[in-house]
């Protein structure tokens, strides 16, 4: 009797796995399809210092340094651009006051801009270990520079770059003062969100299946995609939760058609002491365009706070 029960249980487990595998195969191309994200193109800024760093797997990343105009910079900002963008994307997210008081280090991720191209890797909007390694390599280089060793270092990223900034800061051997994450998202939760939208549109009865079972299929599709592409997708939720209290400022677009603000808010809610702000009418990668004055004030206030400088609360109050 016991043997029969074991055989039945084994058959059910095998059947369940086959169901997951079948539907994961259907989901796979949808997960790997790139959305129509058009990163805004910004012109190169002339006269900046250039630098190069090499990742542990041998790829050269190229970037630029914009020195603060202030005689004593308040700190350093490492900027991580969005998918499809370049090091020059900082121009759409950092106002003149920030640039005047903080040294800014900006770089091209691999397969972007002037950094090395890896023919074995096709980048996408999901954060992989490659983008994590790129951001971590640049951060480590910044932390090793004599001019910046005694200054607070913050990271700022947009969309996939925000995820890379969070991931790099979470694994840094030296503490990062703070992270400004514009349009950050959880790969697994966002992929699940779009899967449910597809199910409602094309096969609504499937929603009768327990949500955890559908999530297991999504997780299998993500793991399958990682195996096919020989990459590792980073769990940004785990990275964000590992950061110290008060180290994160999340900024979301109220009209973001790609990443709902509610998903970004739920990510922020997992991080103790983090700040969250939704930009009214803000669109994906264009959050600052919707409310430039308040965006700049909130970023500047946050940077001043983590740099232990007087906060510009009057400006924030006026903008709010």
Task: Give the 3-state secondary structure percentages of the chain, helix then strand then coil, rounded to 5.
Answer: 50, 15, 35
Cα–Cα–Cα angle for 108, 172, 304, nearest 5°? 80
Q: Calculate the alpha carbon distances from 85 to 104, 122, 130, 292 in Å.
A: 17, 15, 16, 20
pLDDT tens for 6-58 read 655 555 555 556 666 777 788 888 888 877 767 788 999 999 999 999 999 99
To the question of pTM greater than 0.75 for the whole model, the response is yes
CA atoms within 13 A on the CB side of 217: 23
pLDDT tens for 72-106 read 889 999 999 999 999 999 999 998 888 889 999 99
Residues 218 and 191 sit within 8 Å (Cβ to Cβ): yes
| pLDDT for 313 | 38
**CA-CA distance, 3 to 19, in Å (whole number)?**
24
DSSP 116: P
Alpha-helical runs (H) found in the chain? 2-32, 96-101, 129-144, 160-171, 187-202, 211-229, 236-241, 261-269, 287-290, 292-306, 313-319
| pLDDT for 13 | 53
pLDDT tens for 205-245 read 888 888 888 899 999 999 999 999 899 999 898 888 888 77
Between 316 and 122, name the one with better pLDDT: 122
Residue ranges and CATH numbers for the domains of the chain are 49-186+235-319 (3.40.50.1820)
User: In sequence order, what are the residues at sequence separation of 6 or more whose Cβ sits closer than 8 angstroms to the Cβ of residue 62?
Assistant: 50, 51, 52, 87, 107, 108, 113, 114, 115
| pLDDT for 207 | 82
- Average pLDDT score over residue span 200-204: 86
Please state the φ and ψ torsions of residue 211, each to the nearest 5 degrees: -60, -35
**Count of H-run helices and E-run strands, the chain:** 11, 8
3-state secondary structure of 261: helix
| pLDDT for 39 | 78
């Amino acid at each position: 009797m016991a043997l029969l029960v074991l055989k039945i249980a084994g058959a059910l487990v095998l059947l369940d796995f086959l169901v997951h595998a079948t539907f994961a195969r259907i989901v796979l191309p949808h997960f790997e399809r790139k959305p129509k994200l058009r990163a805004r193109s910004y012109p190169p800024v002339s006269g900046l210092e250039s630098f190069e760093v090499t990742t542990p797997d041998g790829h050269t990343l190229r970037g630029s340094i914009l020195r603060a105009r202030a005689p004593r910079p308040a700190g350093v900002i490492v900027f991580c651009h969005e998918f499809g963008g370049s090091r020059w994307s900082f121009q759409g997210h950092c106002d003149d006051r920030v640039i005047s008081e903080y040294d800014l280090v900006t770089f091209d991720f691999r397969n972007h801009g002037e950094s090395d191209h890896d023919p074995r890797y096709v980048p996408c909007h999901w954060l992989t270990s490659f983008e994590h390694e790129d951001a971590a390599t640049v951060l480590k280089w910044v932390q090793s520079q004599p001019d910046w060793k005694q200054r607070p270092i913050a990271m700022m990223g947009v969309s996939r770059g925000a995820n890379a900034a969070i991931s790099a800061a979470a694994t840094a051997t030296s503490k990062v003062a703070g992270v400004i994450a514009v349009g950050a998202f959880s790969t697994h939760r966002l992929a699940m969100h779009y899967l449910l939208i597809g199910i409602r549109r094309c096969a609504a009865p499937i929603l009768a299946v327990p949500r955890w079972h559908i999530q297991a299929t999504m997780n299998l599709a993500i793991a399958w995609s990682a195996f096919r592409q020989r990459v590792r997708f980073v769990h940004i939720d785990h990275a964000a939760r590992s950061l110290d209290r008060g180290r994160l400022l999340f900024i979301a677009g109220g009209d973001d058609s790609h990443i709902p603000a509610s998903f970004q808010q739920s990510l922020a809610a997992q991080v103790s002491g983090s700040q969250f702000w939704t930009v009214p009418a803000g669109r994906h990668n264009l959050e600052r365009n919707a409310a430039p004055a308040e965006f700049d004030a909130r970023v500047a206030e946050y940077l001043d706070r983590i740099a232990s400088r007087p906060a510009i609360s009057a400006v924030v109050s006026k903008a709010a």
